[in-house]
């Protein structure tokens, strides 16, 4: 596949699956043995069906989840993106009851495309920032408060 085809495939994935909140649309995009490596998780999520269950939990917790692409680079069989996902916390997520808070989470993802399907993804969300926005972790010190701590 051409580099541009790979970029279009990833954009189709983001549009038809993530933005549309339609995990079933991944069947035409992700390889059946698709693997995603998530920073902070001890084991990768292996298999398209396992990934669909995981992403469904995000859609349940953040029913208005959207993704904005901020930067994109592609070469050979790889597509890398820097993105922001946002949504309103409306249901339990990672053991945190719904807060009603709106969050914006910086994320980076590196996709490997083989034979016209996404085979592997390396994904990194700013989980600490997410937990701070949900009130589950202390907020970072600001310039005003940093000077007061000595």
Tell me, which fold does domain 3-139 have in CATH?
Nuclear Transport Factor 2; Chain: A, (3.10.450)
Q: How many residues does the chain have?
A: 150
Per residue, the 3-state secondary structure of 96-145, as one string, reads: ECCCCCEEEEEEEEEEEEECCEEEEEEEEECHHHHHHHCCCCCCCCCHHH
**Tens-place pLDDT, residues 29-58:** 999 999 999 998 899 999 999 999 999 999
**Whether residue 67 has pLDDT greater than 70:** yes
* Residue 139 confidence (pLDDT): 87
**Whether residue 79 has pLDDT greater than 60:** yes
Confidence of residue 143 (pLDDT cuts 50, 70, 90): low
Better-predicted residue by pLDDT, 37 or 141 = 37
Domain ranges of the chain: 3-139
**Whether residue 147 has pLDDT greater than 90:** no
Confidence of residue 140 (pLDDT cuts 50, 70, 90): confident
**Whether residue 80 has pLDDT greater than 80:** yes
**Tens-place pLDDT, residues 94-125:** 999 999 999 999 999 999 999 999 999 999 99
**Whether residue 145 has pLDDT greater than 70:** no
Burial class (CB in 10 A: 0-12, 13-18, 19+), 17: buried
């Amino acid at each position: 596949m051409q580099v541009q085809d790979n970029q279009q495939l990833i954009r189709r994935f983001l549009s038809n699956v993530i933005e549309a909140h339609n995990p079933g649309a991944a069947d035409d995009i992700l390889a059946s043995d698709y693997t995603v490596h998530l920073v902070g998780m001890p084991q990768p999520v292996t298999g398209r069906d396992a990934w669909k269950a995981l992403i469904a939990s995000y859609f349940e917790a953040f029913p208005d989840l959207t993704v904005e692409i901020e930067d994109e680079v592609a070469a050979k069989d790889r597509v890398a993106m820097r993105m922001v996902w946002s949504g309103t916390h409306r249901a339990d997520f990672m053991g945190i009851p719904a807060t009603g808070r709106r969050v914006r989470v910086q994320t980076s993802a590196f996709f490997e495309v083989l034979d016209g399907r996404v085979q592997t993804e390396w994904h990194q969300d700013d989980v600490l920032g997410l937990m701070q926005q949900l009130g589950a972790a202390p907020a970072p010190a600001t310039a005003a408060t940093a000077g007061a701590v000595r």
